[in-house]
Amino acid sequence: MMMGGTSLGSAMPSLAAQMAAFQAMLLAATAVHKAARWTHSLAVTRQFAGVPEVLAAASLGVAIAVESAAGALLMAPAYRTTGAALAALIWALYAALIIRAIVQGRRDVDCGCSFGRTSKPLGSFQIARNLVLAALAVCIAWVSAFHGTVPAQGTFIVGGLALLALYGALDQVMALQPLRRGELT
């Protein structure tokens, strides 16, 4: 398959680099968000993740460090596969924690997964969001491992920023009250 003189296969490393930039920026933003709202994040760590109070600060510190490391690795072409695999694990873990909370009947618990305040209970959107992010990270890892990597160029960073802005907008829209009756939450 050709796109403007470039095969889709040869364009995949560039697309993966742009997606890696997006994921790196998102992971960096989540780490900064957790650190900046330390007290709130400690409460989320205890109430949502179920970490005992005595381990909450250390667990939160590890989460911030792991998200930061994954983001940094995603930006380095030589380590992009590792960063993407780590990102996939992070997103899958968050999805599992959300599913656990829903199954336990704790849909109203704050998962800390939004940059703004939300009163919307946990549901299918939060699960799908994290599973899509995990799948995207798996795709980045696969492309990087089998098709090579390219350095993050300025256009990839701009594209990643645009995707981050769209992600933030979607997050805010989904925090609103249901757009239609009978919405699956």
Q: Is 3 helix (H, G, I), strand (E, B) or coil?
A: strand
Dist. CA 115–CA 132, nearest whole Å: 18
Low-confidence ranges of the chain (pLDDT < 50): 1-5, 183, 185
Helix (H) or strand (E) holding 7: strand 6-7
Write down the pLDDT at residue 141.
Answer: 95
Write down the pLDDT at residue 166.
Answer: 79
Dist. CA 55–CA 2, nearest whole Å: 53
Mutual angle of helices 53-75 and 8-36, in 10-degree steps: 150
Dist. CA 100–CA 25, nearest whole Å: 27
Write down the pLDDT at residue 3.
Answer: 47
Distance of CA 29 to the CA centre of its chain: 10
Write down the pLDDT at residue 110.
Answer: 87
Write down the pLDDT at residue 185.
Answer: 47
- Per the structure block, which two tokens stand in for 182? 């009978």
Dist. CA 41–CA 45, nearest whole Å: 6
What is residue 52's DSSP assignment? -
Q: How does pLDDT run across 45-97, given as a tens digit for each residue?
A: 999 999 999 999 999 999 999 999 999 999 999 999 999 999 999 999 999 99
Write down the pLDDT at residue 134.
Answer: 97
Residue 7: strand pairing partners: 2
